[in-house]
């Protein structure tokens, strides 16, 4: 029986994160995502030019609200983002580090934007991996911090986020000034995802340096709707929509560990199994689904979830 090959008229943009010395930065490696010419893992229609990239989260404060299962792998470094970043690179080998400047938020410390910029410099000095920088999701504080953090990382070609429909101008200007890529977020809505990209592009920013975050849900918490939106974005892009032809980001850890099933104590729900196994598995299962939906970049919290998905990708790409 003859295999039916579907040909698409367009391809997904490629975005590179990180800069080596010959590119004006200090990173030991760079990460390139995107470039697909067909749907995920259909190698007979076109092998993906770049493997999906895997990042690990670090926070700029000690996350006392995290469950013990999630705190344990990083216990020796919690509260020191530079040490945390170095530990992740040396022990868990992600492709990138994602620094979350959560303490900027008025409810989480209300720290100064200048301190956020110092943290960016310290983390860049502690790790040679490409860096993702994420604000605190408080527009006023993020808009004060983004220009300082972008300048602190000038030359390193970071991915900085996130830009939303209501709050994109300051970040776009900062990334234009200091040559970074943009993490654009939308609330699981294909039309808003496209609109955010249009708004950013109208400021003179290259759309080929944008990564789409459709604000993914976790396993059991809206993953089906997330999957359908990501799939629609990818289909529209392959069919020629240039304002949706960006690589897709899945913020897996932040979403998965909100789920009760991932973080609930074993003593409260003994029938759910061991919590030190359950949480990472919940995160890994969420990530596996997002890969099938077209995710090019996944951000994890538990290193065991990252390891499982790295092995899963080895198998998928070998079979494909």
pLDDT > 70 in the chain, percent: 99
Question: Using one digit for the tens of pLDDT, what is the confidence trace for 274-319?
Answer: 889 999 999 999 999 999 999 999 999 999 999 999 999 999 887 6
- What pLDDT does 120 receive? 98
263 pLDDT above the threshold of 60:
yes
Check which CATH number belongs to the domain holding 259 and give it: 3.20.20.20
In a domain, residue 4? The reply is no
In a domain, residue 10? The reply is no
**Dist CA 267 CA 274 (whole Å):** 9
Q: What is the average pLDDT across 171-177? A: 98
Q: Which long-range contacts (CB under 8 A, 24 or more apart) does 112-115 make?
A: 113/141, 113/144, 113/145, 113/148, 113/149, 114/148
In a domain, residue 8? The reply is no
- What pLDDT does 87 receive? 98
In a domain, residue 1? The reply is no
Task: Compute how many other C-beta atoms are within 10 angstroms of the C-beta atom of residue 145.
Answer: 29
CB-based contact 160:180 (threshold 8 Å): yes
Task: Compute how many other C-beta atoms are within 10 angstroms of the C-beta atom of residue 189.
Answer: 14
- For the chain, the average pLDDT equals 95
Question: Using one digit for the tens of pLDDT, what is the confidence trace for 96-134?
Answer: 999 999 999 999 999 999 999 999 999 999 999 999 999
**What are the tokens at 186?**
């939308």
In a domain, residue 278? The reply is yes
The total number of structural domains in the chain stands at 1
In a domain, residue 3? The reply is no
In a domain, residue 121? The reply is yes
Q: Please tell me the pTM assigned to this model.
A: 0.96
In a domain, residue 7? The reply is no
- What pLDDT does 319 receive? 60
The distance from CA 77 to its chain's CA centroid, rounded to whole angstroms, is 22
Question: Using one digit for the tens of pLDDT, what is the confidence trace for 185-244?
Answer: 999 999 999 999 999 999 999 999 999 999 988 888 889 999 999 999 999 999 999 999
Sign (positive/negative) of CA torsion 227, 229, 231, 233? negative
**Dist CA 190 CA 212 (whole Å):** 10
320 pLDDT above the threshold of 60:
no
Domain that holds residue 274: 15-319
Q: Which residue has the tokens 């890529």?
A: 181
- What pLDDT does 142 receive? 98
Q: How confident is the model at residue 167 (pLDDT cuts 50, 70, 90)?
A: very high
């Amino acid at each position: 029986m003859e295999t039916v090959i579907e040909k698409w008229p367009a391809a997904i943009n490629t975005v590179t994160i990180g800069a080596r010395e010959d590119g004006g930065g200090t990173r030991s490696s760079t990460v390139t995502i995107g470039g697909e010419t067909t749907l995920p893992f259909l190698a007979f229609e076109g092998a993906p030019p770049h493997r999906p990239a895997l990042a690990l989260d670090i926070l700029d404060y000690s996350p006392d609200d995290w469950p013990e299962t999630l705190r344990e792998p990083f216990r020796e470094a919690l509260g020191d983002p530079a040490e945390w970043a170095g530990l992740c690179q040396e022990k868990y080998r992600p492709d990138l580090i994602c620094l979350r400047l959560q303490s900027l938020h008025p409810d989480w410390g209300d720290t100064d934007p200048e301190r956020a910029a110092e943290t960016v410099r310290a983390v860049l000095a502690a790790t040679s991996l490409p860096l993702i920088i994420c604000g605190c999701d408080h527009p006023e504080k993020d808009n004060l911090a983004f220009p300082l953090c972008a300048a602190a990382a000038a030359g390193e070609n970071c991915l900085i986020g996130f830009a939303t429909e209501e709050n994109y101008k300051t970040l776009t200007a900062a990334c234009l000034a200091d040559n970074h890529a943009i993490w654009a977020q939308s609330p699981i809505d294909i039309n808003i995802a496209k609109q955010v990209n249009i708004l950013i592009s109208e400021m003179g920013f290259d759309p080929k340096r944008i990564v789409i975050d459709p604000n993914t849900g976790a396993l059991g918490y809206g993953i089906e709707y997330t999957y359908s939106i990501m799939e629609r974005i990818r289909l529209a892009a392959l069919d020629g929509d240039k304002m949706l032809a960006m690589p897709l980001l899945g913020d897996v850890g932040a979403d998965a560990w909100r789920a009760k099933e991932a973080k609930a104590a074993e003593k409260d729900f003994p029938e759910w199994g061991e919590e030190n196994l359950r949480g990472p598995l919940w995160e890994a299962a969420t990530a596996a689904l997002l890969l099938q939906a077209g995710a090019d970049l996944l951000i994890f919290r538990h290193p065991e979830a990252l390891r499982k998905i790295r092995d899963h990708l080895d198998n998928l790409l070998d079979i494909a």
